[in-house]
Amino acid sequence: MNKNISSQESHEKMKFVPVKVFSTGGTIDSSSDYVPTKKSVFSGTYLPQVFEQARLPEEVVIEPLMQKDSMDLTVEDRQVMLDYCIQSPEDRILITHGTDAIAETAKFLGGKGVGNKTVVLVGSFVPLSQPNSDAHFNLGYSVAAAQLLPAGVWVAINGEIFEWDNVQKNRDKMRFERIQ
Protein backbone atom coordinates (compact mmCIF):
# COMPACT_ATOMS: atom_id res chain seq x y z
CA MET A 1 0.00 0.00 0.00
CA ASN A 2 1.22 3.50 -0.79
CA LYS A 3 2.43 5.05 2.47
CA ASN A 4 1.20 8.46 1.29
CA ILE A 5 -2.42 7.29 1.31
CA SER A 6 -4.13 7.02 4.68
CA SER A 7 -6.44 4.09 5.39
CA GLN A 8 -9.38 6.56 5.32
CA GLU A 9 -8.38 7.73 1.84
CA SER A 10 -7.93 4.14 0.75
CA HIS A 11 -11.37 3.25 2.10
CA GLU A 12 -12.94 6.19 0.23
CA LYS A 13 -11.34 5.06 -3.04
CA MET A 14 -12.74 1.55 -2.59
CA LYS A 15 -16.24 2.64 -1.62
CA PHE A 16 -19.11 1.08 -3.59
CA VAL A 17 -19.95 3.20 -6.62
CA PRO A 18 -23.68 3.35 -7.49
CA VAL A 19 -24.59 1.36 -10.60
CA LYS A 20 -27.82 1.66 -12.59
CA VAL A 21 -29.00 -1.59 -14.16
CA PHE A 22 -31.18 -1.60 -17.25
CA SER A 23 -32.62 -5.02 -18.08
CA THR A 24 -33.56 -5.79 -21.67
CA GLY A 25 -34.25 -9.53 -21.61
CA GLY A 26 -32.06 -12.07 -23.34
CA THR A 27 -31.04 -15.52 -22.21
CA ILE A 28 -29.78 -14.17 -18.88
CA ASP A 29 -33.35 -13.33 -17.78
CA SER A 30 -35.20 -16.14 -19.59
CA SER A 31 -37.81 -18.09 -17.65
CA SER A 32 -37.47 -21.67 -16.50
CA ASP A 33 -39.26 -22.65 -19.75
CA TYR A 34 -36.07 -21.75 -21.64
CA VAL A 35 -34.92 -24.10 -24.42
CA PRO A 36 -31.53 -23.27 -26.03
CA THR A 37 -32.77 -23.92 -29.56
CA LYS A 38 -35.76 -21.57 -29.24
CA LYS A 39 -36.26 -17.87 -28.56
CA SER A 40 -36.18 -16.66 -24.97
CA VAL A 41 -39.40 -16.72 -22.95
CA PHE A 42 -39.91 -14.27 -20.08
CA SER A 43 -41.93 -14.12 -16.89
CA GLY A 44 -40.42 -11.06 -15.23
CA THR A 45 -36.83 -10.43 -14.19
CA TYR A 46 -34.71 -12.49 -11.81
CA LEU A 47 -32.27 -9.65 -11.20
CA PRO A 48 -33.64 -8.33 -7.86
CA GLN A 49 -33.32 -11.77 -6.23
CA VAL A 50 -29.83 -12.30 -7.63
CA PHE A 51 -28.56 -8.94 -6.41
CA GLU A 52 -30.18 -9.50 -3.02
CA GLN A 53 -28.60 -12.95 -2.78
CA ALA A 54 -25.23 -11.39 -3.65
CA ARG A 55 -25.80 -8.88 -0.82
CA LEU A 56 -25.05 -5.92 -3.05
CA PRO A 57 -25.53 -2.48 -1.53
CA GLU A 58 -28.82 -0.72 -2.14
CA GLU A 59 -27.09 1.60 -4.61
CA VAL A 60 -27.82 -0.93 -7.37
CA VAL A 61 -31.08 0.23 -8.95
CA ILE A 62 -32.75 -2.02 -11.53
CA GLU A 63 -34.97 -0.55 -14.22
CA PRO A 64 -36.54 -2.95 -16.72
CA LEU A 65 -36.62 -1.42 -20.20
CA MET A 66 -37.95 -4.40 -22.17
CA GLN A 67 -37.92 -8.17 -22.19
CA LYS A 68 -36.91 -9.35 -25.62
CA ASP A 69 -34.86 -12.04 -27.20
CA SER A 70 -31.85 -10.08 -28.45
CA MET A 71 -32.43 -11.32 -32.01
CA ASP A 72 -35.72 -9.36 -31.92
CA LEU A 73 -34.13 -6.06 -30.90
CA THR A 74 -34.61 -3.19 -33.35
CA VAL A 75 -32.74 0.05 -33.97
CA GLU A 76 -35.56 1.74 -32.05
CA ASP A 77 -34.96 -0.56 -29.04
CA ARG A 78 -31.26 0.26 -29.10
CA GLN A 79 -32.09 3.95 -29.29
CA VAL A 80 -34.26 3.54 -26.17
CA MET A 81 -31.26 1.99 -24.39
CA LEU A 82 -29.03 4.85 -25.52
CA ASP A 83 -31.55 7.48 -24.43
CA TYR A 84 -31.91 5.89 -20.98
CA CYS A 85 -28.14 5.72 -20.58
CA ILE A 86 -27.66 9.35 -21.51
CA GLN A 87 -30.58 10.55 -19.36
CA SER A 88 -29.58 8.49 -16.31
CA PRO A 89 -28.15 10.53 -13.43
CA GLU A 90 -25.79 7.62 -12.70
CA ASP A 91 -22.44 7.57 -14.50
CA ARG A 92 -22.03 3.79 -14.10
CA ILE A 93 -24.54 1.70 -16.04
CA LEU A 94 -25.02 -2.02 -16.56
CA ILE A 95 -27.27 -3.38 -19.32
CA THR A 96 -28.35 -7.01 -19.18
CA HIS A 97 -28.69 -8.32 -22.71
CA GLY A 98 -28.96 -11.45 -24.82
CA THR A 99 -25.68 -12.81 -26.14
CA ASP A 100 -26.86 -13.28 -29.74
CA ALA A 101 -26.90 -9.53 -30.44
CA ILE A 102 -24.90 -8.02 -27.55
CA ALA A 103 -22.01 -7.09 -29.87
CA GLU A 104 -24.38 -5.25 -32.23
CA THR A 105 -25.85 -3.24 -29.35
CA ALA A 106 -22.37 -2.45 -28.04
CA LYS A 107 -21.40 -1.15 -31.49
CA PHE A 108 -24.58 0.92 -31.70
CA LEU A 109 -24.09 2.52 -28.27
CA GLY A 110 -20.36 3.01 -28.70
CA GLY A 111 -20.77 4.43 -32.19
CA LYS A 112 -23.37 6.94 -31.03
CA GLY A 113 -21.46 7.79 -27.84
CA VAL A 114 -22.65 7.71 -24.24
CA GLY A 115 -20.98 10.88 -23.03
CA ASN A 116 -18.80 10.61 -19.94
CA LYS A 117 -20.49 7.42 -18.74
CA THR A 118 -19.31 3.87 -18.30
CA VAL A 119 -21.77 1.45 -19.89
CA VAL A 120 -21.19 -2.29 -19.51
CA LEU A 121 -23.28 -4.87 -21.34
CA VAL A 122 -23.58 -8.37 -19.89
CA GLY A 123 -25.33 -11.58 -20.81
CA SER A 124 -25.06 -15.31 -20.24
CA PHE A 125 -25.16 -18.53 -22.18
CA VAL A 126 -27.40 -20.19 -19.56
CA PRO A 127 -30.31 -18.32 -17.89
CA LEU A 128 -30.38 -17.34 -14.23
CA SER A 129 -33.38 -19.66 -13.92
CA GLN A 130 -31.35 -22.75 -14.85
CA PRO A 131 -28.82 -24.85 -12.92
CA ASN A 132 -25.17 -24.38 -13.84
CA SER A 133 -25.77 -20.86 -15.13
CA ASP A 134 -22.86 -18.57 -15.90
CA ALA A 135 -25.17 -15.61 -15.24
CA HIS A 136 -24.39 -15.20 -11.52
CA PHE A 137 -20.67 -14.91 -12.13
CA ASN A 138 -21.18 -12.65 -15.16
CA LEU A 139 -23.42 -10.28 -13.20
CA GLY A 140 -20.97 -9.94 -10.33
CA TYR A 141 -18.08 -9.50 -12.72
CA SER A 142 -19.94 -6.87 -14.73
CA VAL A 143 -20.97 -4.87 -11.64
CA ALA A 144 -17.29 -4.67 -10.67
CA ALA A 145 -16.36 -3.80 -14.26
CA ALA A 146 -18.95 -1.00 -14.35
CA GLN A 147 -17.42 0.46 -11.20
CA LEU A 148 -13.80 0.26 -12.35
CA LEU A 149 -13.68 0.80 -16.12
CA PRO A 150 -13.23 4.25 -17.64
CA ALA A 151 -16.00 5.99 -19.56
CA GLY A 152 -17.05 4.18 -22.71
CA VAL A 153 -19.00 1.11 -23.81
CA TRP A 154 -17.82 -2.36 -22.83
CA VAL A 155 -18.94 -5.98 -22.89
CA ALA A 156 -18.05 -7.98 -19.75
CA ILE A 157 -18.73 -11.70 -19.95
CA ASN A 158 -17.16 -14.95 -18.77
CA GLY A 159 -14.22 -13.23 -17.09
CA GLU A 160 -13.26 -11.03 -20.01
CA ILE A 161 -13.79 -7.39 -20.91
CA PHE A 162 -14.17 -6.30 -24.51
CA GLU A 163 -14.20 -2.83 -26.06
CA TRP A 164 -17.41 -2.01 -27.94
CA ASP A 165 -15.76 -2.11 -31.34
CA ASN A 166 -13.67 -5.22 -30.78
CA VAL A 167 -16.01 -8.03 -29.77
CA GLN A 168 -17.81 -10.86 -31.54
CA LYS A 169 -19.64 -14.01 -30.51
CA ASN A 170 -18.06 -17.24 -31.69
CA ARG A 171 -21.12 -19.49 -31.89
CA ASP A 172 -19.04 -22.62 -32.60
CA LYS A 173 -16.95 -22.21 -29.43
CA MET A 174 -19.81 -20.63 -27.40
CA ARG A 175 -17.65 -17.74 -26.24
CA PHE A 176 -16.79 -14.17 -27.07
CA GLU A 177 -13.54 -13.09 -28.65
CA ARG A 178 -11.78 -10.07 -30.01
CA ILE A 179 -12.18 -9.27 -33.70
CA GLN A 180 -8.54 -8.16 -34.08
Q: How much is the pLDDT for 1?
A: 47
From CA 91, how far away is CA 146, in angstroms rounded?
9
Domain boundaries, the chain: 15-32+42-177
The mean pLDDT of the chain is 85
Q: How much is the pLDDT for 142?
A: 95
pTM, to two decimals: 0.86
pLDDT in tens, 113-124: 999 999 999 998
Mean pLDDT of 13-37: 75
Q: Is the pLDDT of residue 2 over 60?
A: no
Does the domain at residues 15-32+42-177 carry the CATH identifier 3.40.50.1170?
Answer: yes
Mean pLDDT of 136-159: 95
pLDDT band of residue 31 (cuts 50, 70, 90) is low
Q: Is the pLDDT of residue 57 over 80?
A: no
Q: Is the pLDDT of residue 28 over 80?
A: no
Question: How many Cβ atoms sit within 10 Å of the Cβ of residue 158?
Answer: 16
Mean pLDDT of 73-82: 97
Q: With pLDDT > 70 as the criterion, what percentage of the chain qualifies?
A: 82
Residues 36, 40, 44: CA angle, nearest 5 degrees: 135
Q: How much is the pLDDT for 38?
A: 65
